Amino acid sequence: MTTLIATLDSFHCDTHCMSSSGPNFRTPKAFRIKGPKGPLLVGGAGDIADVVFLRDLLTGLPLEDLSSMWMNDNWPPAIIEKMESDVVVSDGETLWLIDQRLVPLELLSDWYALGSGAEAASVALNYGDDPHEALRRAAQVDPLTQTPFLTVNLNG
């Protein structure tokens, strides 16, 4: 698992990744991609392959198209059945949570934490910590959140 803190203009996450078929490794879990109206931030927790799949799918695709594809049964059932991750997307104005059924849900907040250390990170953010400090605090109580941390900014 992981901890990811999404804000409107930057995503912050650890880089620890577990593998069921081999050793653990480090990999990015947050990305800046090309959206239909400008850059988007995409990041997630859970199966990193799901996060990368959604990153690639969302490149250039309006979020509205994602839910209409799902609702119109344009998805192979195997994709929906295998999704084990939640993904957060930011366009700089709104945060969206894309759940395991690939439905984009608008978040009425300017930050969101997800993953195994989300509760600890949320407490730290609510007490005024910046995202990097909140990740550090999450790593103190969650063994699946480990340094080094990665920050990806919307505008470079």
Res. 81: pLDDT tops 70: no
> Is this model's pTM higher than 0.85 or not?
yes
- In angstroms, what CA-CA distances link 122 with 40, 83, 114? 23, 24, 9
54-79 residue pLDDT tens? 888 788 777 666 656 555 555 555 55
Q: What is the DSSP letter of 134?
A: H
Q: What is the CATH number of the domain that holds 63?
A: 3.60.20.10
pLDDT in tens, 10-37: 999 999 887 667 678 888 999 999 988 8
Residue 102 — very low, low, confident or very high, per pLDDT cuts 50/70/90? Answer: confident
Determine contact, residues 102/83, Cβ cutoff 8 Å.
yes
Q: State the residue range of the domain holding 63.
A: 3-153
Domain count, the chain: 1
Task: Please enumerate in sequence order all residues whose Cβ is within 8 A of that of 56, keeping only pairs 6 or more positions apart, or say none.
Answer: none
